[in-house]
Every structure is written in C-alpha cells, then in structure tokens.
C-alpha cells in the first residue's frame, strides 16, 4: 500500500457563502522523505462544464457576453467578458449540465456533444475541475432567445460570430477567458470550423 504524501493537520472554515473557503494546514512529504508543514487557502465552488458551439458550414461559433465582477476588480473596465457557454454541475453529470446550460444561456437545444478534456483551471487555490465539450449547432436547434435563467439573475448576451473573428479577438485581447481561448484553439488545431 502506498504511503500518503499529505497529512491534514487542521482545516478552518473561513467562508461558506457561494462556495466554501477553508484555511488548511498540512504536512507534505518531500522527495527526500522529509516532511514540510504548509498552509494554504482552498476554495471549493464545485465543478463545471463548458462548451464551444460551432457551425462548420457557416464558419461560426456561439459565445456569450456577461458581467464577471471579479474581472472589474482587476482592471476590466466594464467587467464584461466574452466566453463560451458554461455552468456549474450542481448534481448533474457534466454532459447533462452542459446541454441544460446551452439551452438556458444560448437558446439552442443540442443533443450531441463531445467531451474533449478535463482541466483544473487554478489548481493553486481552487478545487474546481472543468469538463470541456464541443458541439455542432444549426439554426433549427434554436428554440428560445437564451440569455440565462431569470431566477439566477443571469443577464447573458448571445453572440454568433465568424470563427475567424473569435480567433482575432484572442489576439487583440477582447477574449481573455482561459476556457474560451482553450476551446477556440482546440477548434482551430482540429479543424472543427
């Protein structure tokens, strides 16, 4: 049986609001066999899923635009971010979640998605894993205007744009969201659009 390389000494709850923030003290076994005590804050906000909707025939993608207040605090003038459709898993599996989020946020009902990867976006402080998907869309899949769920106070703008424009928006800094950049680059590398 393999020996553990981490032993938790204490875990103090700092906040239990939208997510759970803990201050954790632990011993970590180094490569030379010695132990070192460390302390970190760990934020658990649950896991998420994200999808790039693309239309190969039209050469377009669907993205969203919404307020992300933490970016405003870090110098993003209006706090608005252009992103791929995404959401927290809640109790759903990643595929169910992303299909539901796609319909709520973009108004498109998709039935087939492809999982392409699982990623820790900020492993130094956040427990979240994001499940990345791609999915083809067409005009006949549009069943509503989208925009998010009113009870969740979502105010989401749906953007359909040429794939080449989205790639240019990475270059000129108009798209700064890591998960969106990763999905657009995946699409570019794999010739999805």
Residue 153 pLDDT? 56
User: Which residues does the annotation place in the binding site?
Assistant: 86, 101, 105, 154
User: Which residues does the annotation place in the binding site for Mg(2+)?
Assistant: 86, 101, 105, 154
pTM of the entire structure?
0.90
Residue 3 pLDDT? 64
Domain with CATH 3.90.79.10 in the chain: 48-189
Averages of pLDDT over each 10 residues, the chain, 193 residues: 83 94 96 95 95 98 95 92 94 91 94 97 94 97 79 79 98 97 98 95
CA atoms within 13 A on the CB side of 12: 6
Q: What is the CATH number of domain 48-189?
A: 3.90.79.10
Residue 150 pLDDT? 62
Residue 1 pLDDT? 46
CB 58 within 8 A of CB 187: no
Residues 22 and 153: their CA atoms lie apart, in Å, by: 27
């Amino acid at each position: 049986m393999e020996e553990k390389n981490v032993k938790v000494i204490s875990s103090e709850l700092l906040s239990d609001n939208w997510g759970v923030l803990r201050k954790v003290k632990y011993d970590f076994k180094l490569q030379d066999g010695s132990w070192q005590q460390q302390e970190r804050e760990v934020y658990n906000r649950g896991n998420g899923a994200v999808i790039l909707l693309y239309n190969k025939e039209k050469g377009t993608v669907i993205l969203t635009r919404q307020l992300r207040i933490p970016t405003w605090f870090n110098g993003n003038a209006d706090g608005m971010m252009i992103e791929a459709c995404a959401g927290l898993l809640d109790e759903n599996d990643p595929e169910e979640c992303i299909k539901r989020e796609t319909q709520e946020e973009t108004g498109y009902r998709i039935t087939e998605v492809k999982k392409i990867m699982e990623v820790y976006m900020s492993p130094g402080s956040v427990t979240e894993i994001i499940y990345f998907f791609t999915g083809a869309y067409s005009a006949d899949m549009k069943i509503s205007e989208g925009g998010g769920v009113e009870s969740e106070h979502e105010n989401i703008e749906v953007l359909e744009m040429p794939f080449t424009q989205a790639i240019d928006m990475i270059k000129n800094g108009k798209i700064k969201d890591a998960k969106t950049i990763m999905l657009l680059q995946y699409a570019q590398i794999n010739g999805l659009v």
